[in-house]
Chains A and B, each alone.
Chain A
Amino acid sequence: SAVISQKPSRDICQRGTSLTIQCQVDSQVTMMFWYRQQPGQSLTLIATANQGSEATYESGFVIDKFPISRPNLTFSTLTVSNMSPEDSSIYLCSVEDLAENTGELFFGEGSRLTVL
């Protein structure tokens, strides 16, 4: 299994500001995934971060709002830009269980953002 560390674990942010969330994995992985868990809603994939190429965004998510960096095989960042209260959510970093090759995902502890 992979160990995934996220920072910050929580933050309170002001409307209009941006916040960058960091994700560190203890092993090299080709793809890292960013999910959002809004209150009372399903976990939803925001984007897939590939090392050496642009991130791939899911429908409803755009690079201007959620820019992603992937500088190496163990690290990624997700920025939530120009935040509004609707961005209050838990943001989760995840990687696939490559040993099983079944699509199972390991998740970090999440970054809980509250936007005032």
Chain B
Amino acid sequence: QKEVEQDPGPLSVPEGAIVSLNCTYSNSAFQYFMWYRQYSRKGPELLMYTYSSGNKEDGRFTAQVDKSSKYISLFIRDSQPSDSATYLCAMSGAGSQGNLIFGKGTKLSVKP
């Protein structure tokens, strides 16, 4: 079993739809949870960061962490064509110092 599992998609939705992206993980030591967005031929950019369990909202984006289920989610409301990208979940434990464990990424396409 890989440490982090993420459905690679691709996922295609119409503009305005609510998108749900998910990752599961096996290492209970993970405390820091991140979502990165990666446009084609670009490096990943940090989208959302959450420490431990709970929700975090930033505009149209909401990140959720459920440590009891080892499950994290990213919701995108009112999706836009500009949201078309690959979304990577990443996580780490205390003192990991740059060693983030990534999912494989979900490729999202938002159709106008």
Interface residues of A (CB under 8 A from B): 4, 31, 33, 40-45, 48, 58, 92, 94, 96-97, 100, 102-110, 112
Instruction: Assess whether B102 is interfacial by the CB under 8 Å rule.
Output: yes
A42 near B102 (CB under 8 angstroms)?
Answer: yes
The answer to whether B51 touches A105 (Cβ under 8 A) is: no
Please determine whether A58 and B99 come into contact, CB atoms closer than 8 angstroms.
yes
Q: Quick check: B46 and A106 within 8 Å, CB to CB?
A: yes
- Residue pair A109, B98 in contact (C-beta under 8 Å): no
Specify which of B43, B45, B51, B103 lies most central, judged by the most chain A CB atoms within 10 Å of its CB: B43
Q: Which B residues contact A (CB, under 8 angstroms)?
A: 2, 4, 8, 32, 34, 36, 41-46, 49, 51, 88, 90, 92, 96-105
A31 neighbours in B (Cβ, 8 Å): 97-98
> Of all chain A residues, which has the CB nearest B93?
A103
Additional pairs, 13, CB under 8 Å, beyond known A31-B98, A42-B102, A103-B98:
A33-B98, A40-B104, A42-B88, A45-B98, A92-B43, A94-B98, A102-B49, A103-B100, A104-B32, A105-B100, A106-B46, A108-B43, A109-B43
Contact status of A43 and B98, CB under 8 A, knowing A105-B46, A107-B43: no
Interfacial chain A residues near B103, Cβ < 8 Å: 42
Minimal beta-carbon separation of A95 from chain B (angstroms): 8
B57 CB, min distance to chain A CBs, angstroms? 18
Closest to B8 in A: A40
Q: Verify A109–B42 contact, CB threshold 8 A.
A: yes
- Quick one: closest A residue to B32, CB to CB? A103
- Complex Cα distance A43/B104, Å? 7
Nearest B-chain residue to A1, judged by Cβ: B46
Point out the residue from B4, B42, B98, B104 that lies within 8 Å of A105, measured CB to CB: B98
